[in-house]
Amino acid sequence: MLRTTVRHSCPLRVICSVSRQSHVGVHSRFYHPSRRLSDDLSGMPPPLEGIKVLDLTRVLAGPTATMLLADLGADVIKIEEISKGDDTRTWIPPSAPIVPSAPAESSHLPPESAYFLATNRNKRSMTVNFKTPEGLEIMHRLIKKSDVLVENFTSGKLATMGLGYEDCKKLNPRLIYASITGYGQTGPYREAPGYDAIVEAEAGLMHITGEPDRPPSKVGVAATDTATGLYAHGAILAALLSRQQTGEGVWIDCNLFDTQIAGLANIASNYLIAGQEASRHGTAHTSVVPFQVFPCSDGFLMICAGNSKQFKLLAEKILDNPALVTDPRFATNEARVANRAELINIITDVLQKQDRAHWIEQFTGLGVPFGFINNIKQTFDHPQAIARQVAVEVEHPRAGKVKLVAPAVTYNGKRMTVRMPPPWLSEHTMEVMTELGYSPAIIKSLRERSII
C-alpha cells in the first residue's frame, strides 16, 4: 500500500521550504559543512514499496517517469519487445564495455548503451510479444496484479491490441493507467507520434531558443521529454492518493505538447496577458539587463544581475565604474532594457580583459549571481557536484562498475537507494513469469515460440 495517510476532511498539506538565497549564483556562496543536513539522518523509507508498476514505455519521457517511481521503491517491470527491446538499447556509441563475467545468456546482446543506462535504474526487464494470444494473457495477468500501468504508444494503439484503458479497467478497476503521448488523447493531432524536437518546434520553445540573428535552435538535451516524464511521475503519485480516497483507478493523459506549453512560463503569460510576441535573445533575458553570457579571455561567464542592488555591486566592484549607477541610461532596469546594447558593450569590454580565474576571485562572495559555462567534465568536477555526490557507482552484471547520475532529491539528508542497476534485455523474464505462476515447462515452451 501507498504509505500516506490522507484525511477526507482536509486537503493534503505540503510545506516547502525555499531558501531566500536560492537565486544567488553558485560561486557567490561559501560551503559551510555545519549548515548541511546531518550525515547521521536515516533518510526516508521507500514510500512506494509494495506498489507494482507495469512499464510499457520506451526512449525518454516514459522511462524517466517510471524510473522516478522505481527510485521511490515501486517494483517497476519494464515490458520490452523481444528482439531488441527499448529503442535506446541500440543507440550506440557510446556504450559501457562488456565484462568477461557477463551472463552467458546475454552474449547475443549488444553492449549496454549509455542512453538506456541513464533512465532505467531500479527496474526489472521482461520481454513479451503481446500481439499473440499467449502474450496477451501474460499481460492480463500482470495487469491484474499491478497498481500502475504506464504506456507511451500512439493514442489508441494499445486499444487495438486489447490493452487500452477500458480493457485494463475491466481487469483491474483500481489500476492507474498513465498514457504519455505527443499531443494527448483528444484533438486533431491525437494520433501523431511525439518527438521532443518536433514539439519544441510546434509548442514555441524553438522559436525563443538561439541567437536573435541566427535560425531557431533546439535545446541541447531533450528537455520537453524530461519535463513530461516529471509531470507524469507527479500525476501518477496524485492518482495513487486519489485511489486511496475513492478506491478507483484513474486514466492519466500526459503529453509533450501540453507540457511544453506549460513550460513556456512567463513567455506564455506575456502573450496571453499583453499580446506580446516572443523573440530569440540567446542567453539574454527579455525583461532584465544585464542577464546573459559574457566572454572573458579564456571562456564565458553568465551574469544575472536581477535587481538594481546587484547592478550597483557589479558597476562599482567589478566594472570599477560607479557612474553607471546614476547614469540615466542605466539607473533603472527599465532604462537598462531600453539601452541594452550600450550596457552590454561596456560590460563586455571589461570582462574580456581578464581570465576565468581572475573573475572567480572577484565575483566570489560579492552578491552578484554568476557562473562559468562548464563543459560536462567540468560539471561533474564542480566542487558542489562532488560535495553533493551527484553520481553513483553501481555493479552491472554485463558492464561491471558503471557510473550513473544519482536521484536528484534527498529526504532527511539521504538519497533514495539505487537498489538495482539498469537491467539487460529480458534479465527478469523467468523471475516474473514464475511469480505469475507459470511452470518451467510452460516458460520454456513460450521462449521457444518467441512469445517471451
Query: 179-213 burial, b for 16+ CB within 10 Å, e for fewer?
Result: bbbbbbbeeebbebebbbebbbebbbbbbebbeee
From 281, 289, 286, 285, select the one nearest 314 (Cα to Cα): 289
Q: How many angstroms separate the Cα of 41 from the Cα of each of 332, 385, 411, 412, 413?
A: 47, 20, 9, 6, 6
| H helix count then E strand count, the chain | 17, 13
Distance of CA 156 to the CA centre of its chain: 26
DSSP, collapsed to helix, strand or coil, labels residue 123 as: strand
> Out of 225, 253, 327, 381, which one is annotated catalytic?
225
* 213 labelled catalytic: no
From 162, 331, 152, 175, select the one nearest 240 (Cα to Cα): 175
367 contact partners, CB below 8 Å, separation of at least 6:
24, 28, 309, 310, 313
Return d(Cα 245, Cα 248) in angstroms, integer: 8
Return d(Cα 175, Cα 185) in angstroms, integer: 18
Which neighbouring-strand residues pair with 123? 76
Is residue 290 within 8 Å of residue 347, measured between CB atoms?
yes
Question: Which residue type occupies 261?
Answer: I
Is residue 112 within 8 Å of residue 141, measured between CB atoms?
no
Task: Give catalytic residues, as residue numbers.
Answer: 225
